Structure 1
Amino acid sequence: MRRTIAAASLLFGALGAGSASAHPHVFVDARLEVVADDDGNITALHNVWRFDEFFSSSVILDYDANMDNQLTGEELTDIGDTVRDSLEEYDFYTQITDNGEDIKLARPDVIHADMRDGQLLLFFEAKPEKPIKLKGHLTFGVYDSTMYTAIDFHQDTDLVTIGKAFEACQTLVLRPNPDEVISQNKDALTAAFFNDPTDMSKLFATKLDVTCD
C-alpha cells in the first residue's frame, strides 16, 4: 500500500492552519518566472522549488516503491500527482493580486518531480484562472499561508519577468522587514497569531511588485 497521504500532509501543510505551529517544518528554495505575451497578457507563472535535504530524504522513504533508495519513473510521477492534488486548496502557494484583487490559479496540467543531489525538485507552469492585463499594480509571490513551509527566494534574480510587454512596467522585488511589519501591525498580529495566522503571513512574504501604465 502506497504511503502517499502521510507524506503529502507533512510536505504541504495539509494539516491545516489550525495545526501548523506558526513556524516552518519544511524549507524550500524557489524561483518564479512571470510570463507575458506581446499583447500584455499574463500567460503563465513558472515555478521551480528545491526542498531541503532532510525532507527530501523522508520523501524517498515514502515513495521508493522498489526499495532501491532512488526515485525514478513512476515514483516521481506519483509525487507530482500527489502534490498537485494536495496543493489545490492552497492555490499552489502561488499568490497573485491584480489591482488589489486576489487572482486564483487554474489547476496545472502536471507537476514534474525530480531528485538531484539528494534534494527533491518540483517544476510546474501555472496559469491565472482569469485573464490578467499588465495594467496598474500587480503583485506575484509564492508562500505558504499556514507557515508550515518556508519558501525562500535567496536572490532578487529568483523572481523574474519574461516578455517584452514588461518593458513598459516598473518591477521591484519587495522583501518586508519583519521588525517593521511587526511594529506597524502589532495589535493585528497579536490577535491573528492567537486565532488564525494565515491572513497575516502574506505581510512577511517576498513578492514581485509590478506597476504598469
Structure 2
Amino acid sequence: MRHSTILMAALLSLAPAAAFAHPHIFVEARLEVVAGKDGSVEELRNVWRFDEVFSSSVVMDFDKNTDLKLEPNELTEVGNTVKKSLADYDYYMNLTINGKNITVQKPDIIHVDYKDGQLLMFFAVKPVEKMPLKGRLTFGVYDPTLYTSIDFPTDTELAIVGDGFKACKHQVVRPDADQVISENKQSLTDAFFNDPTGTNMSKLFATRLEVTC
C-alpha cells in the first residue's frame, strides 16, 4: 500500500544503497531510562519529534480525507505502521550491559501526534531480559543505516528516572567523529569491505548515556 511507503522505506531505509547515505530524516529525541523497584531497568521512554519536511510527507501519505491534517484514526495508522516496521530494527534502541547487547520488546503502542507542522511519536519499550543496575550500562538511539539522524539537543534529553539510580554515576557521551575514525580505522575499513552494503559500526558515532553502578 502506498501509504506505508514513507515509513517502511524512508524511515527504515531498507535499500542497501542507503547504508552510507547522508541523513534524509531528522529527529529531535528524548530518552528516559526508568529504574524499577527490583533494581533493574524497567522501561525506556522515547519521544521523537520529526522535521517538518518529513512530517509533511507523512501527512500527504496518510491523510485519507485530504484535509491537510491527521485525524485520530490516521494518527493511529501511522503508529501501527511504525510499530510493525521498526521491529526488525529494535526500534533504533542500542542497549548494553557490561558490553553485552540487549534487545527490546515490541512496544504496546506508539502514540502519534501532529502539532505545529511536526510529527511526534511517544512510546516505551522494555528490555527482553533483566538489566540489573550493576556494572556498566549504556543506552542510545540510532539508525544503523544513517538515513535517519536522531539527535538529542541537550544532555538533559538523556535522563535517568527512579531511586534505583541513586547509587549510580551517569554521563552523556557525544563521540568526536574524527577521534572515532582514528581509533577504529582498521575495523571500520574491514567492516566496509566485508559487507559494503552496510554495517552496525555507525553506533560508534552515536550519542549515548553511560551509567555505572
TM-score, normalising length: structure 1: 0.94
Deviation at 1:59, TM superposition (A): 0.5
Q: 2:44 aligns to what SS in structure 1?
A: strand
Contact residue 94 and residue 139 of structure 2 kept, 8 A: yes
Give the distance between the partners of 2:116 and 2:127, measured in 1 at CA. 32
Aligned twin of 1:113: 112
Q: Does 1:103 align with 2:135?
A: no
Q: Tell me what 1:202 maps to.
A: 203
Structure 2 match to 1:153: 152
Distance across 1 between alignment mates of 2:139 and 2:4 = 29
* Contact persistence 1:22–1:197 (CA under 8 A): no
Paired residues of 2:30 and 2:157 also in contact (CA < 8 A): yes
Q: Which runs of 5 or more residues in structure 2 are unaligned?
A: none
Task: Using the TM superposition, give the Cα deviation of residue 131 of structure 1 relative to its aligned residue in structure 2, in angstroms.
Answer: 1.4
Question: 3-state SS of the aligned residue for 1:46?
Answer: strand
| Cα deviations by residue, 1:119-170 (Å, 9 ceiling, x for unpaired) | 0000001001111110001000000011110000010000000001101001
Residues 32-87 of structure 1: CA deviation (Å, up to 9, x unaligned): 00000233111110000000001001001000011000012110000000000010
TM-fit CA distance, 1:17: 4.2
Alignment partners' CA distance in 1, 2:5 and 2:38: 44
* Distance in 2 of aligned mates of 1:193 and 1:70: 42
CA contact (8 A) 2:9 2:15 kept: no
What secondary structure, in the 3-state scheme, does the structure 2 residue paired with 1:168 have? coil
The Cα offsets for residues 94-120 of structure 1, whole Å up to 9 and x where unpaired, read as: 111011111110000000110011000
2:43 matched residue in structure 1: 44
Question: Superposed, which structure 2 residues align to 1:125-204 within 5 Å?
Answer: 125-194=124-193, 195-204=196-205
Structure 1 match to 2:27: 28
State how far apart, in whole Å, the 2-side matches of 1:22 and 1:11 are: 12
Kindly provide the amino acid, as one letter, of the partner of residue 130 in structure 2.
P
Residues 8 and 82, structure 2, Cα contact 8 Å, conserved in 1: no
Aligned residues: 211
Match of 1:123 in 2: 122
C-alpha contact (below 8 Å) 1:37/1:165 kept by paired residues:
yes
How far apart, CA to CA, are the structure 2 residues paired with 1:26 and 1:19? 12
Structure 2: how far apart are the matches of 1:15 and 1:112? 23
Provide the residue aligned with 1:76 in structure 2. Answer: 75
RMSD across aligned C-alpha pairs, in angstroms?
1.4
- The answer to whether the 8 Å contact 1:32/1:47 transfers is yes
What TM-score, normalized by structure 2, do the two folds share? Answer: 0.94
Rounded Cα–Cα distance in structure 2 between residues aligned with 1:179 and 1:32: 26
Q: Which amino acid aligns with 1:100?
A: G
Deviation at 1:8, TM superposition (A): 1.6
